[in-house]
C-alpha cells in the first residue's frame, strides 16, 4: 500500500534536490515504529530471504559464479568491479549480465529493489522490507517550492505509526508546517494571483483592494497595506511552505 503525500517548497531555475540537502539528515523511521512492528518487519524480511535463497536461479548463480558461497562485502565490491562492463567490452560481461538478469527477476518476485536483490544474490544479506519506508524529494525554484513525501506502508502497520512517521519527517524537513487555510483565504489568494501573474503592468494594491471590496463587501479591507500583507502571508504558506519567499505582487 503506497501513500503519496504531496505538499508544496525555492532557488533559481527549477532544480530537484533531496530535502536532505536542504535540511540535514531526515529522521530514522525506526524511532517512530514500535518494537513489535519493527520486529515483524525483520522476521518477514528474513523469511523472504530464505525463500529466495532456495530459488533455482539463485542457487545456480552462486554455484556457477561464486563457488557455491556468498561473499563478504569487501569481496563483493571486488567482484562487482571485476565484472562491471567497461567501454572496451561492447558485448558486456556475461557474469554481469546474468547478475542483472537474476536480480531483476528477484526484484519482480519479491518486494525488493534491483539493487537490494543484487546485494542479496552476491552477499546473502537480507533485504529489509520495512514497516514504513519514506521517499522524498524537493523542487526549488524562484517562484515556488514543492516538497513530496512518499510513504510505502505495510498493511499491518497501525495508522498511529504512519501518522507519527509522517509528522517526524515533515517536522524535520520543513521545521514549520504550513498551517491550514480556510475557503476565504484561498479565494482571496486566487483572486489576487489571477490578476498579477503574467501581467506586464499589474494593478496597484489600492486598485486591487477596491475591486475586492466591491466584489466581496462582507470581506472588505479598509487599508490596502493590510490587503497586501495578507496576500504575502498566504503566498508564503501556500506557495513557499513558509521557507522564505521573494517579494511578489504589485508595488
Q: Tell me the pLDDT tens digit for each residue of 154-205.
A: 999 999 999 999 988 888 887 677 788 999 999 999 999 999 998 888 899 9
- Residue 23 predicted with pLDDT over 50: no
What's the burial of 185, exposed, middle or buried (CB within 10 Å: 0-12/13-18/19+)?
middle
User: Sorting pLDDT into bands at 50, 70 and 90, what band is 249?
Assistant: low
Cα 168 versus chain centre, distance: 14
Q: Which triple of cell numbers denotes residue 61?
A: 548463480
Beta strands in 141-204 (DSSP E): 145-153
Q: Which triple of cell numbers denotes residue 57?
A: 536461479
Predicted model pTM? 0.65
Angstrom distances, CA of residue 232 to CA of 59, 112, 118, 192: 63, 45, 50, 10
For the chain, what is the radius of gyration of the CA atoms?
Answer: 26
Among 91, 118, 94, 93, CA closest to 104: 118
Cα dihedral angle (63, 129, 31, 240), rounded to 10 degrees?
A: 120
Amino acid at each position: 500500500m503506497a501513500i503519496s503525500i504531496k505538499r508544496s517548497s525555492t532557488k533559481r531555475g527549477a532544480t530537484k534536490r533531496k530535502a536532505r540537502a536542504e535540511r540535514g539528515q531526515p529522521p530514522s523511521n525506526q524511532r517512530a515504529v514500535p518494537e513489535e512492528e519493527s520486529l515483524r518487519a525483520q522476521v518477514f524480511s528474513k523469511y523472504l530471504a530464505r525463500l529466495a535463497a532456495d530459488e533455482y536461479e539463485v542457487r545456480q548463480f552462486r554455484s556457477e559464479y561464486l563457488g557455491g558461497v556468498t561473499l563478504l562485502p569487501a569481496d563483493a565490491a571486488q567482484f562487482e568491479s571485476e565484472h562491471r562492463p567497461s567501454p572496451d567490452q561492447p558485448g558486456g560481461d556475461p557474469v554481469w549480465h546474468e547478475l542483472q538478469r537474476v536480480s531483476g527477476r528477484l526484484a519482480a518476485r519479491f518486494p525488493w529493489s534491483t539493487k537490494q536483490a543484487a546485494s542479496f544474490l552476491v552477499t546473502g544479506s537480507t533485504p529489509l522490507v520495512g514497516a514504513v519506508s519514506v521517499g522524498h524529494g524537493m523542487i526549488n525554484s524562484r517562484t515556488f517550492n514543492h516538497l513530496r513525501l512518499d510513504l510505502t506502508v505495510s498493511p499491518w502497520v497501525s495508522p498511529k505509526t504512519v501518522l507519527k512517521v509522517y509528522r517526524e519527517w515533515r517536522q524535520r524537513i520543513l521545521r514549520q508546517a504550513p498551517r491550514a487555510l480556510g475557503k476565504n483565504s484561498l479565494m482571496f489568494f486566487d483572486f489576487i494571483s489571477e490578476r498579477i501573474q503574467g501581467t506586464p503592468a499589474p494593478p496597484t494594491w489600492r486598485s486591487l483592494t477596491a475591486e475586492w471590496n466591491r466584489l466581496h463587501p462582507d470581506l472588505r479591507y479598509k487599508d490596502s497595506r493590510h490587503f497586501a500583507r495578507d496576500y504575502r502571508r498566504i503566498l508564503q504558506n501556500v506557495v513557499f511552505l513558509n521557507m522564505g519567499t521573494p517579494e511578489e505582487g504589485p508595488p
